């Protein structure tokens, strides 16, 4: 799937697929492991996002939106699950050659 889609050309279907691949998949996987982590009162979840989630781009605008959502999801889970000793972090690399 191409991620460089002009905002005005973006269809609901493409955006929904991007959200599913980049955000919902992290939520689903986190929910699969959080029960065991809560029981142990320990654990670490690491998301891979992108600098695109922190800095706007004219080339990959909607990709950046989904990566910003990843970062927000990470912060929310960290706030909610931190009381159980679960760390939730995000790595947001830039362009890698």
Q: Which of 63, 66, 68, 69 is catalytic?
A: 63
DSSP state of 60: S
How close are the terminal C-alpha atoms of the chain, in Å?
Answer: 20
84 as an active site residue: the answer is no
DSSP state of 35: H
DSSP state of 23: I
Q: Cite the active site residues.
A: 63
């Amino acid at each position: 799937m191409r991620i460089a889609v002009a905002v005005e050309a973006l269809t609901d279907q493409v955006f929904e697929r991007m959200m599913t691949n980049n955000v919902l998949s992290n939520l689903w996987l986190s929910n699969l492991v959080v029960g065991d982590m809560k029981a142990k009162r320990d654990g670490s979840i690491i998301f891979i996002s992108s600098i695109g989630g922190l800095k706007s781009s004219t080339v990959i605008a909607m990709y950046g939106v989904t990566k910003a959502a990843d970062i927000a999801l990470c912060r929310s889970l960290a706030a909610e699950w931190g009381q159980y000793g679960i760390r939730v972090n995000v790595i947001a690399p830039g362009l890698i050659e």
